[in-house]
């Protein structure tokens, strides 16, 4: 079955750029799913960051949109997250996840995230 | 602030039934999905769609929805059900985003 694995630096300096990659195994990133990033600050809840389709279409959390870029590399079967101008508030566990979209009609959908990576901790500190 | 509202904490006696709720305007139009998260672990999908359980999720977990409220019910709660539970659904603002509820800490007494 599909498995996801996050990787990237665990420490990023303030004002720098956080860069993470999610490797997809056991399935193709070109399948009809969206690929998401979710984060969780220490002791807090889950926050959706954004997502990408294999075509390159993206959706971002409006509160992070100005700093986020999500890209896909189909040749490597992976997708990536870049978050710029980071501060201590961006310290979190970052998860990647597969999002399934189910169409109930031409205009009505629902979503769920059925596969998650184990998460990677990123600390923003000098 | 989250567009999906959950009670921060709920408790249930071992073997009893508990309902965890999630409120939000988007739930009038879209089903919620529910995730269980234990300390130090990634979230696990437990309910999606109208009332569907992924393979491996016990049938004591069920979902329902009415108006702007989605509910996750655990019938006969077990000690291993103690965890944080999050709902999520489509963003109600009209874009194609996703939003999570703030989470509910379930304690099994």
Q: What's residue A32's pLDDT?
A: 85
The minimal CB distance from B42 to the residues A61, A108, A118 is found for: A118
The minimal CB distance from A111 to the residues B29, B33, B102 is found for: B33
| Three-state SS annotation for chain A | CCEEEEECCCEECCCCCEEEEEEEECCCCCCCCEEEEEEECCCCCCEEEEEECCCCCEEECCCCCCCEEEEEECCCCEEEEEECCCCHHHCEEEEEEEEEEEECCCCCEEEEEEEECCCEEEEECC
User: To which residue do tokens 């809840």 refer?
Assistant: A45
The minimal CB distance from A59 to the residues B30, B88, B97 is found for: B97
The minimal CB distance from A48 to the residues B44, B93, B97 is found for: B97
Task: State the virtual CA torsion across A86, A90, A93, A96 in degrees, nearest 10.
Answer: -60
Phi, psi values for residue B79, rounded to 5°: -60, -35
Q: pLDDT tens, B22-73?
A: 999 989 888 999 999 999 999 999 999 999 999 999 999 999 999 999 999 9
Tell me whether strands A3-7 and A34-40 are parallel, antiparallel or unpaired: unpaired
48-87 in chain A: CB under 8 A from chain B: 48, 51, 59-62
Q: What's residue A104's pLDDT?
A: 84
- DSSP class of residue B94 equals S
Predicted confidence (pLDDT) at residue B1 exceeds the cutoff of 60: no
| Closest chain B residue to the Cα of A99, Cα to Cα | B98
A67 φψ region: left (φ > 0), alpha (ψ -120 to 50), beta (else): alpha
CA pair distance A101, B45, nearest whole angstrom: 14
Candidates A111, A116, A119: best to mutate against B (most CBs of B within 10 A) is A111
Predicted confidence (pLDDT) at residue B2 exceeds the cutoff of 70: no
Q: Say whether residue B31 is in contact with chain A using an 8 A CB cutoff.
A: yes
Query: Across the beta sheet with A3-7, what order do the strands follow?
Result: A3-7, A18-25, A78-83, A68-73
Tokens of A34: 């969206």
Contact between B101 and B58 (Cβ < 8 Å): no
Q: pLDDT tens, A56-70?
A: 999 999 999 999 999
B90 φψ region: left (φ > 0), alpha (ψ -120 to 50), beta (else): beta
Q: What's residue B95's pLDDT?
A: 66
Contact between A114 and B54 (Cβ < 8 Å): yes
A62, B97: Cβ pair inside 8 Å?
yes
A45, B30: Cβ pair inside 8 Å?
no
């Amino acid at each position: 079955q599909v498995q996801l694995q996050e990787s990237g630096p665990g420490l990023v300096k303030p004002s720098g750029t956080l860069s993470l990659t999610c490797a997809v195994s056991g399935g193709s990133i070109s399948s009809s799913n969206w690929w998401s990033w979710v984060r969780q600050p220490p002791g807090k809840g889950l926050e959706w960051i954004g997502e990408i389709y294999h075509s390159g279409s993206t959706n971002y959390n409006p509160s992070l949109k100005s700093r986020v870029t999500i890209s896909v590399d189909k040749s490597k079967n992976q997708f990536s997250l870049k978050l710029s101008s980071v501060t201590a508030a961006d310290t979190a566990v970052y998860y990647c996840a597969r999002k399934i979209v189910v169409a109930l009609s031409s205009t009505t959908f629902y979503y769920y995230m059925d596969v998650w990576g184990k998460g990677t901790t990123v600390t923003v500190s000098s | 602030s989250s567009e999906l509202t959950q009670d921060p904490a709920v408790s249930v006696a071992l073997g009893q039934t508990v309902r965890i709720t999630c409120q939000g305007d988007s739930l009038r139009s879209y089903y919620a999905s529910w995730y269980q998260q234990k300390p130090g672990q990634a979230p696990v999908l437990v309910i999606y769609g109208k009332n569907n359980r992924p393979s491996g999720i016990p049938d004591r977990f069920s979902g329902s929805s009415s108006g702007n409220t989605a509910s996750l019910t655990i019938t006969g709660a077990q000690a291993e059900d103690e965890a944080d539970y999050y709902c999520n659904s489509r963003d109600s603002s009209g874009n194609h985003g996703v939003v999570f509820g703030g989470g509910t800490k379930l304690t099994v007494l």
